[in-house]
Structure 1
Amino acid sequence: MTALNVALVTPLAGPDATQGLASVRGLTLWARDEYLPPPWTEISVTAYDAYPDPAAAMRSAVAARPAAIIGPYGRRAALAAASATDRVVFNAGAPTTRFMRQTYPKVINIAAPSSTWPRQVLTLVRSVDRTARKAVLLLAVGDFAIEATASTKAAARSLGFEVTTSTFGPGQAAIAASRLPTADVLIVHGDPDDELTAANALLRRPWKAAAFSTAVSVQGAATFGDSSDGLLAPGSWLPDSMAETTTGPNAWAFTADFSALHGTPPTATAAWTFVAGLILGACIRRSGSADDTAVLAAARGLDTTTLLGRFRLDETTGLQVGHQIPIVQWQSGTSWTVWPRDGARARFAHPRWQARTANPGLTPRPYR
């Protein structure tokens, strides 16, 4: 028997231990079900604790000479781990534009950068409204704000939107919100308290569409009260999707298999890590080798569909451009996936004040 040895560098202790465990569980399911060509007859997964020192964990993993390495959950941990090696690393837990090919040429990005969700909102609005012209972004100061501003403004040019961006520091959300100009689309990203403060000041205004990053969960939306109807928010994946795939099971089957094996439903982190395994397997079958150079070349040329949607890396940047972050909308107390179009569970209610009467008679299939 010949085992394909795979290293998973991820936090197993500390504040992100829950996410690390989800990664382990996702990769364990993949290892159980994956089929590889000879000479491999099984897959062995070894986890290395990225807490508190992800770079040391990566060095330990590399020293064991695994066939492949899956990187950790968390932006800082992933950046530190990837910087500690010249091996190919599958980025399964830190969807950020920092992992561009020019800086990290050996990183394979599994999911779209999280900072691209505002551009998905603009794409959604433009799909039903040709008259909307102005959008405003209210973003907490930090790396996300820098990435989201660049990504959204680039998309806005092609979509015909004029974008104004405002950033705020701790405790400054109310002041920043009061200074926002009038626009058709409002997009807010910050921590829950800041977003609620901004919502109290902004949702009285007649935005055609309004999106808040923390409104995705039932708990998050509840803090907005009656104002939650019509709000948009970024999802992460569609666990009940039965959309066809070309690599691996669909999301519905994965959710069922994961739940049966581990006794708990999968999180987005588990799904991302499972898909990292699927892409690794596809690259090995495509190239006939588990060598880093062969796997990297295969990944760069791969165009396939997994339970996350399309997988395709940008030829220039190496960022994931096939996968699209789902957008959900709250309608009459239920969240519905409304974008991308092929994963939509309900019609997008636009303008947002139509949400209370949208999609009558449909059986709720809420985003989880």
Structure 2
Amino acid sequence: MLDYAPRDDAQHADNGLLTLIETIEALSATRTISEVADVVRKAARRISGADGVAFVLRDNNQCWYFDEDAIGPLWKGKRFPLTACISGWAMLNRQTVVIPDIYLDDRIPHDAYRPTFVKSLVMTPVRMEDPVAAIGAYWAQEHTPSPETVQKLQVIARATASALESGRLHDSLVDARHHGTFLLQELDHRVKNTLAIVQSISRQTLRAASSPEAFAETFENRILALSKAHELLTRRAWGRAQLEEILDKALAPFSANLSDRFDIIGPALTFSAETSVSVHMTLHELAVNAAKHGALSTADGRIVIRWSVEETASPPMLTLTWREVGGPPIVGTPERKGFGSQMITRGLARDLGGKATLDFTPDGVIYTLRAPLSQRMSLAA
């Protein structure tokens, strides 16, 4: 393939991609919301070339301008109603907003902006499903950022969500010292484990990406899947999670009504918190592949998910299958195995001490997992 892009454009893309990776690695060392904000505001300004960046937290019904990095003062430390602020609009509407001229947009409180240098902006919510913050990038001249720049800001916002939640948890535990050092040690374990997963995802996704744009899209989807797994565990107070709950959360983005595309049957199973994340990520990768190449890429395709436990075996053994039907015919086995395929066949099986196979039959993909019951995975009482 010939490369017709100018050398400086390619260098700029490489620098932007490097900034994304460096941001994730920097977030892995953060422990408080202040540290997360410091990493994000600097990275967002570097990657966007903006004249200023604000990190805004949602505080009940208010926008709290928590930190900023700008050529002039913005609103650091101030709070505004969600309904009277563009960061609030982005969080309430769960979407990124690009405004080339703030004085031509009625959503902007013009009186609040006149004392500042701001003429144009991008506001990106953090955690799209249920925003907890927003990242604002501002320019002193009328400016329309490229789609690639907006996409990179959105990737930073996705990566920030997990780190921000960890920071909130750490701050609350530090304030509640009577819970003892055990909780802090448990938090450290969870944060380090989560950020190690994020680092692994970033490096492996980068290794397989064909372009910065491909990396940004794939990485964003994987981080979103990880954050959804954590949302489920947070509601469960990081206790055990039911397999059906994990299935509902992991597969919801692929069908508004799961029964329309998925046929799911099996006994009640529960997983430990860490293993629940592996289960969620495995199901996400299987569904992504099905949506791109398999049964979910056609109108009539379906996924049949079955699992059973052989209780008479010693130890009792789980057999779980994911079978795709009604999709496009499969010719041969793909020669190249990317990070997603490795996660499917190795990650969960390794966690459970079992074995997984991924077969490409003419009728569709079949994933099979065999693993012994244990404290990580057990039948529900």
TM (norm. structure 2) is 0.25
TM-score normalised by L of structure 1: 0.25
Q: Look at both structures and tell me which one has the larger radius of gyration over its CA atoms.
A: 2
Structure with more contact order per residue of length (Cα contacts < 8 Å, sep ≥ 6): 1
